[in-house]
Amino acid sequence: MSLAWQFYVSTLLIYVGVDIMAVWALNLQLGVAGVLNFAFIVFQAAGAYTAAVVTLGPASRTGFQHYVGGANWPFPLPVLAAAVVGAVLALVIGLFSLRRLRNDYQAIVMLVVSLIATLIATNDVGLVNGSNGLSLVPKPLASVLGVSPYGIQYQWFFVGVTAVICVLAYWFINRITSSPLGRSLRAMRDNEQVAAALGKNVLWLRLLAMMAGGAVAAASGAILVVLITAWSPSSWLFPETFSYLAAVIIGGSGNNLGAMLGALLVPVGFLEAARFMPSFGNPNLVGALQWIAVGALLLIFLWFWPRGVIPERRRRFPAGRSD
Amino acid sequence: MTPSDPDAGFLAVRGLRMDFGGVHAVADTSFSVPRGHITGLIGPNGAGKSTVLGMIAGAIRPTSGSIIFDGINVERMPSYRRARLGIIRTFQIAGVFAQLTALENLLVGQPMRGESLRGALLGKRYWSEEQTGAVQRGRDLLTRFGLADQEEEYGGNLSGGQKRLLEIARALMARPRLLLLDEPMAGVSPALVQRIEDYLRELSAEGLTMLMVEHSLPVVERLCDPVVVMAQGTTVSTGTMAELRTQRKVLDAYLIG
């Protein structure tokens, strides 16, 4: 395989890993727990910013970038730090927004949270360097391995790192969804009042889904920021949440395998595949058509196959012993 | 101490008041529910019966008054904590979990280990045995209520009567100490009414305390003792159906209310 192709494929694979983790996280919140997290991208962004800030070093040394904190933590601490920030942010946002609201109002509030977050990040320049964002994020472990961080060997190495983190994320999410906790979340999704009447603490369950999903989303952001080596508000506008939402619904809401398929179809398939389309007409046309296509596909699925390509599976229990 | 004495009883409501804006849905209600009986709560439409049941279950916060369950004041407790104390309710519109199977619906009723985050992360080794026990209990209940064939059917696909039975079975999974039934016979076919009555009678014989809001007076007559009559937001009288039939104020309540 030529070097150019290797770079393309390896980059694509890292995107696949990032998007699969993100869709698993949103699936946990939306598909399993029924929380309409329209602010999803904020959690991936928080993870990206956190990982960047703890690897860039203190702000004064870098000069042209202004941001809070700063450290030079070795890998994998930035990913862990990102996950913690994602969980804490989810707790704070959840306590604010999700305490007493019905589903539909939750969605509106979360959307507003997403917009407010973008405004804060853009305008409070000292926070994460405003609209210019953070750049020159170093790639981890390159010196330890003795390879150039810009070479193809490092790239494949990082594909491996992404795969490992993906596996860990899957383990975490699957433990939740396949357990009685997962069943409680689904019950809350189906009928919150009844779930509470049976002894489930629905506020806590909702916060838990937000925090667990938020941690995994943030971890995906930590990987993504290493790949791109930069992160700014333009990387995480609301359409990004929309793309992941479409992935959850089209792939199969409530099903981790469906989530993987959705990730391959929407963020990776539709949005990455457009690289290969010959440009025609207005230079913005292809980009705009991508989003139109995602929207149209989502509508079609909501009309005809609302449960998605791989729907939530029916739980069966093994036959009992005959006494 | 008579059953109508608010100082007695497994559950006692005292001075319950519920104002929705300017409307006094419940104006000052006091009664008690004795242990081991099926207590009926009847009255004309708008009497406040469902509101009172909702307040006992924790779905509605009373404006004032107290609810004492086995010596504990519960009126400020959220519904999930009352459920953990043993107060389990059914709903007027049968509340099944539509995307869970019938057996899964029952499993939700029983608290178990894998429901905490720590428990879930510890994995099957930690929670699987307890769940298997619950599955067996669930299957036994499904058989008892004639729903064994529906074990893997989605809750949302069950018929109205099946949902009703499933709700009661699920309530039993929670090992209730007080079962609150909100019009269990509403919209139910006569044959099923008979079956549900039989189940409730069995449960009562096994010692389960119940409070039942019900419109069908023949059902109440066959199942309930004592019966509390409400009208216009307050208790009018208490007694057996036979006693109540002779009371002028009860008859008036049904005409006026």
Is B120 in the same domain as B147? Answer: yes
Is B84 in the same domain as B16? Answer: yes
- With a cut of 60, say whether residue B6 has pLDDT above it: no
State mean pLDDT over A130-142: 87
- With a cut of 70, say whether residue A273 has pLDDT above it: no
Mean predicted lDDT score pLDDT of chain A: 90
Q: List the domain range (segments joined by +) for residue B142.
A: 102-157
Order across the sheet with B227-231: list the strands: B72-73, B64-69, B11-20, B23-33, B234-239, B227-231, B38-42, B209-213, B178-182, B87-89
Which chain A residue's Cα is nearest to B93? A194
Give CA A126 to chain center in angstroms. 25
Quote the CA–CA distance of B127 and B137 in Å, as a whole number: 16
State mean pLDDT over B182-189: 90
Contacts B121 to A, Cβ<8 Å: 172, 175-176
A156-184: per-residue pLDDT in tens? 999 999 999 999 999 999 999 999 999 99
A98 band by pLDDT with thresholds 50, 70 and 90: confident
- With a cut of 80, say whether residue B29 has pLDDT above it: yes
Is B112 in the same domain as B238? Answer: no
Q: Note the pLDDT of residue A15.
A: 93
Contacts A216 to B, Cβ<8 Å: none
Is B131 in the same domain as B62? Answer: no
Query: Does residue B130 sit within a domain?
Result: yes
Contacts A317 to B, Cβ<8 Å: 103, 135
Q: Note the pLDDT of residue B66.
A: 94
* Total tally of structural domains belonging to chain B: 2
- With a cut of 50, say whether residue B13 has pLDDT above it: yes
Query: Does residue B34 sit within a domain?
Result: yes
Interface probe for A, chosen from B55, B60, B80 (most Cβ of A below 10 Å), is B80
Residue B193 in contact with residue B162, Cβ under 8 Å? Answer: no
Percentage, residues of chain A above pLDDT 90: 64
- In terms of pLDDT, which residue wins out, A53 or B8? A53
- β-pair partners for B212: B40, B181
Is B225 in the same domain as B152? Answer: no
Is B58 in the same domain as B113? Answer: no
Q: Note the pLDDT of residue B3.
A: 44
Q: Note the pLDDT of residue A239.
A: 87
Q: Note the pLDDT of residue A150.
A: 86
Yes or no, beta carbons of B101 and A314 under 8 Å apart: yes
A274 band by pLDDT with thresholds 50, 70 and 90: low
Is B89 in the same domain as B117? Answer: no
Percentage, residues of chain A above pLDDT 70: 96
Q: Note the pLDDT of residue B7.
A: 47
Contacts A182 to B, Cβ<8 Å: 120
Yes or no, beta carbons of A190 and B100 under 8 Å apart: yes
State mean pLDDT over A93-112: 86
B interface residues, A as partner, C-beta within 8 Å: 57-59, 78-80, 83-84, 88-89, 91, 95-101, 103-104, 107-109, 111-117, 119-121, 123-124, 127, 131, 135-136, 139, 152, 154-155, 170, 174
Is B87 in the same domain as B148? Answer: no
Interface probe for B, chosen from A178, A253, A317 (most Cβ of B below 10 Å), is A317
Which chain A residue's Cα is nearest to B154? A314
Yes or no, beta carbons of A181 and B95 under 8 Å apart: no
Interface probe for B, chosen from A179, A210, A323 (most Cβ of B below 10 Å), is A179
Is B62 in the same domain as B126? Answer: no
Interface probe for A, chosen from B87, B92, B96, B99 (most Cβ of A below 10 Å), is B99
B41-83: per-residue pLDDT in tens? 999 888 889 999 999 999 999 999 999 999 999 999 999 999 9
Which pairing describes strands B23-33 and B11-20: parallel, antiparallel, or unpaired? antiparallel
- With a cut of 50, say whether residue B5 has pLDDT above it: no
- With a cut of 70, say whether residue A70 has pLDDT above it: yes
Residue A219 in contact with residue A47, Cβ under 8 Å? Answer: yes
Query: Does residue B107 sit within a domain?
Result: yes
Q: Note the pLDDT of residue B4.
A: 45
State mean pLDDT over A257-283: 81
Domain boundary among B138, B157, B176: B157
Q: Note the pLDDT of residue A243.
A: 92
B85-104: per-residue pLDDT in tens? 999 999 988 789 999 999 99
Single-letter residue type at A107: A
Q: Note the pLDDT of residue B256.
A: 57
Provide the b/e sequence for B15-46 (b: ≥16 CB within 10 Å): ebbbeeeeebbbbebbbbbbeebbbbbbbbee
Q: Note the pLDDT of residue A323.
A: 47
CATH number of the domain residue B82 falls in: 3.40.50.300
Is B153 in the same domain as B175? Answer: no
Query: Does residue B2 sit within a domain?
Result: no
Is B71 in the same domain as B171? Answer: yes
Q: Note the pLDDT of residue B46.
A: 82
ipTM of the complex: 0.91
Q: Note the pLDDT of residue B1.
A: 39
Contacts B153 to A, Cβ<8 Å: none
- With a cut of 60, say whether residue B9 has pLDDT above it: yes
State mean pLDDT over A23-37: 96
Delimit the domains of chain A by residue range.
3-236
Instruction: Give the alpha-carbon dihedral of A181, A185, A191, A195, to 10 degrees.
Output: 30
For residue A267, whether the previous peptide bond is cis, meaning omega lies within 30 degrees of 0, is no
Max Cα distance, chain B (Å) = 64
Q: Note the pLDDT of residue A62.
A: 54
Query: Does residue B6 sit within a domain?
Result: no
Q: Note the pLDDT of residue B257.
A: 46
Yes or no, beta carbons of B100 and A201 under 8 Å apart: no
For residue A58, whether the previous peptide bond is cis, meaning omega lies within 30 degrees of 0, is no
Contacts B102 to A, Cβ<8 Å: none
Quote the CA–CA distance of A198 and B109 in Å, as a whole number: 6
Domain boundary among B115, B138, B157: B157
A323 touches chain B (CB under 8 A): no
Phi-psi region of B90 (alpha: psi -120 to 50; beta: other; left: phi over 0): beta
State mean pLDDT over B185-196: 90
State mean pLDDT over A298-320: 92
Is B129 in the same domain as B223? Answer: no
Residue B44 in contact with residue B69, Cβ under 8 Å? Answer: no
A61 band by pLDDT with thresholds 50, 70 and 90: low
Three-state DSSP class for B253?
A: helix
